[in-house]
Amino acid sequence: MANLILPSWANASQIPPAFEFYDSRFLNITGPAPKLEVLLENEDFAFAHEASVFIPSTNELFVTSNILTDPVTNQSTVKISRVNTTANPVTSEVINSTIPLANGGVNHGSGILFCGQGTLNQTGGLFQMSIDPPYASENLVANNFYGRDFNSLNDVVVHTDGSIWFTDPSYGYLQGIRPEPELPNQVYRFDPATGNVRVVADGFSRPNGLAFTADEKTIYITDTGRTVGDGSTDPLKPATIYAFDVTVSNGEPFLTNRRVFAMADTGIPDGIKTDTEGNVYAGCGDGVNVWSSGGVLLGKILIEDGTSNFSFGRNGQMFIMNENKLWSAQLGRWVRGSLLKI
């Protein structure tokens, strides 16, 4: 912990070392006695990599694995797990899914909207999946941008106007799971009411996570170009969060006033979320990093080997993906994620 002056209600001895403070405002997030624990561990495969979609009606969590090699077909695959977070002990089951290499996901209607990265033989897209067996899914977005195949969809958010925003970096090609790219690394907006797909942001090395603020006036988009995608890293490439204003021109939404919001000092800022107070959270190489709405690093929830993604549950609980481990961080019970506001 940095040499900070703590408020009278805070007892430094009750704050675990996993919660690293850079600004006393972090205490308004952690509360006086934060807690970090492993909820579930599976050494057989890296089950907890992306998505992390919390279902309030059942207190369950849907997570996607890292890319695996199927021992039978020898093909690349991704497994989706359904985690019962209230069971004692916490349990999980792998579900059957036809989504091609699922990655990021978000609550949508009564189900989950997943990014399908695609394979060498099947183009990806956005897939609506039921949270009940047999977990039927349908493709909501055409698998191409007016005839040019998407690269490998990575993450997705939904605006309250019903539009769907997603990132499409070229990681799939560099990881050997997708053909050579036909499109730049870009961010898109899909309008289900009209079927229109628009490019809303470009100029990225690798656009990755994205999140609206609670009032939807700002969107944050991460650029994870430092992780090249072929197993190498380039310290001269971005590990950066950019902020954009969500504006309207001629009756249509645009992203304006692009600006650097923050840079991760360790690894890359992958998945990103906001809370209802405007704070910004990103999964980085050393855990979940937290910034104020003004871009000041407030603190970190330290996780060995970092995290690609995470999500808020209810009453200040956070679920953190850590490949073979699923962690739970209990923050102040007043903390609310912007997505579910619970």
SS3 (DSSP) at 29: helix
In a domain, 132, yes or no: yes
| Domains held by the chain: number | 1
pTM of this prediction? 0.96
Residue 69: what are its φ and ψ, rounded to 5°? -105, 120
In a domain, 205, yes or no: yes
Identity at 311, one-letter amino acid code: S
> Which tokens go with 158?
């939904």
pLDDT digits (tens, 9 = 90+) for 15-71: 899 999 999 999 999 999 999 999 999 999 999 999 999 999 999 999 999 999 998
Q: How far apart are CA 135 and CA 43, in angstroms?
A: 25
Burial 278-302 (b: 16+ CB within 10 A, else e): ebbbbbbbbbbbbbbeeeebbbbbb
Sheet of strand 123-129: strand arrangement: 102-108, 111-118, 123-129, 137-139
State the CATH number of the domain containing residue 250. 2.120.10.30
Q: What is the mean pLDDT of residues 202-230?
A: 98
Calculate the dihedral angle through the C-alpha atoms of 139, 217, 53, 47, rounding to the nearest 10 degrees: 90
In a domain, 147, yes or no: yes
In a domain, 52, yes or no: yes
Banded model confidence at residue 7, pLDDT cuts 50, 70, 90? low
Whole-angstrom CA distances from 68 to 64, 77, 229 are 11, 5, 16
In a domain, 158, yes or no: yes
Q: How far apart are CA 18 and CA 301, in angstroms?
A: 6
In a domain, 3, yes or no: no
Residue 177: what are its φ and ψ, rounded to 5°? -110, -5
Q: How buried is residue 25: exposed, middle or buried, by Cβ count under 10 Å (0-12/13-18/19+)? A: middle
Q: How far apart are CA 80 and CA 94, in angstroms?
A: 6
> Contact, 124 vs 117, CB < 8 A?
yes
**Is the model's pLDDT at 123 over the cut of 80?**
yes
pLDDT at 10: 63
**Is the model's pLDDT at 127 over the cut of 70?**
yes
In a domain, 2, yes or no: no
**Is the model's pLDDT at 319 over the cut of 70?**
yes
Tell me what the pLDDT averaged over the chain comes to. Answer: 96
In a domain, 271, yes or no: yes
DSSP string, 260-285: EEEE-SSS---SEEEBTTS-EEEEET
Q: Which domain holds residue 268?
A: 12-330
pLDDT digits (tens, 9 = 90+) for 252-286: 999 999 999 999 999 999 999 999 999 999 999 99
